[in-house]
Amino acid sequence: MLTPMCEARGILVLTPVESKRLISKAVAKLPEVKKALEKGKIVVGVGSTNAFVAEELLGREIPREKFLAGYVSDGKLRSMPRDERMNPVVLIDGQVVDISPGAVLKDFESDDVFIKGANAVDHLGNAGVFVAHEFSGTIGEALPRLVAVGAHLIVPVGLEKLIPDVMEAVRKCGQKRLDYAMGHPIGIMPLVNGKVITEIQALRVLFNVTATHVGSGGIFGSEGAVSIVIEGSDQEVADAMEFINSLRAARGTP
């Protein structure tokens, strides 16, 4: 049976790249982000999902392969050399400014926004960020200030990164606790105070549909894909399906 008040139901499949674009468009439409973009401060930390967020806020493409710090590649935990990576994007009143996140964080107020991707998310909405830097990098610098002033922490993260329990993962990791590592040993910074935006929240923001994660995985180029059932009015469901198909067409995927 359909959920009450729903007229239609559909199932869609999102590859990780399609999920990143979907999530980024939803982040750009959040009321707190729109408000800070008009008048306020926004910091977009580096990361593979945040690269798409930065493009949505800037209205132009960026070299996504350089908008990284830590990442997983070739079966290893890696980090982008500092002289090869882009800096985080800092916006004040909608204009890009060439200052460090640390400098602008000193002036953060409660309506300002810090956007940080994650490496893990659980069903409770807790997120976790891998940290290879001894002082936890940008998020280690930002989190105390964000908590102190009550600023917005937005966490875009795809369901391909869903794990059973973020806090259990935090307890198991640690740069000095791991005796062996494929790549960099890492700790995990828990983000329990952020607004997590997965595909589920993104579909609600963009199309006002109810979304349920029903499966994960794929082959032949769909590795890491997630399958999601959406429910809503016939028009809302049709619009969401058409939008996902447009993302696929833009990438040249059949």
Positive or negative torsion for Cα 192, 198, 200, 205: positive
In the numeric block, the tokens 């069903």 are attached to 123
Full pLDDT tens readout for the chain, 254 residues: 566 567 999 999 999 999 999 999 999 999 999 999 999 999 999 999 999 999 999 999 999 999 998 889 999 999 888 889 999 999 999 999 999 999 999 999 999 999 999 999 999 999 999 998 877 778 888 999 999 999 999 999 999 999 999 999 999 999 999 999 999 999 999 998 899 999 999 999 999 999 999 999 999 999 999 999 999 999 999 999 999 999 887 765 43
Q: How many CB atoms lie within 10 A of CB 28?
A: 18
Strand order in the sheet with 89-92: 95-96, 89-92, 41-44, 113-115, 152-156, 195-197
Specify the pLDDT at position 4. 57
Q: Say whether 14 sits in a helix, a strand or coil.
A: strand
Q: Which of 72, 1, 9 is nearest to 210 (CA)?
A: 9
pTM value is 0.93
Q: Is 229 exposed, middle or buried (0-12, 13-18, 19+ CB in 10 A)?
A: middle
Tokens of residue 223, six digits: 């590795």
Q: Is 84 exposed, middle or buried (0-12, 13-18, 19+ CB in 10 A)?
A: exposed
Specify the pLDDT at position 151. 97
Specify the pLDDT at position 5. 66
E strand intervals along the chain: 8-14, 41-44, 70-73, 76-79, 89-92, 95-96, 113-115, 120-121, 127-131, 152-156, 187-191, 195-197, 210-216, 226-232
Alpha carbon 215 to its chain's center: 20
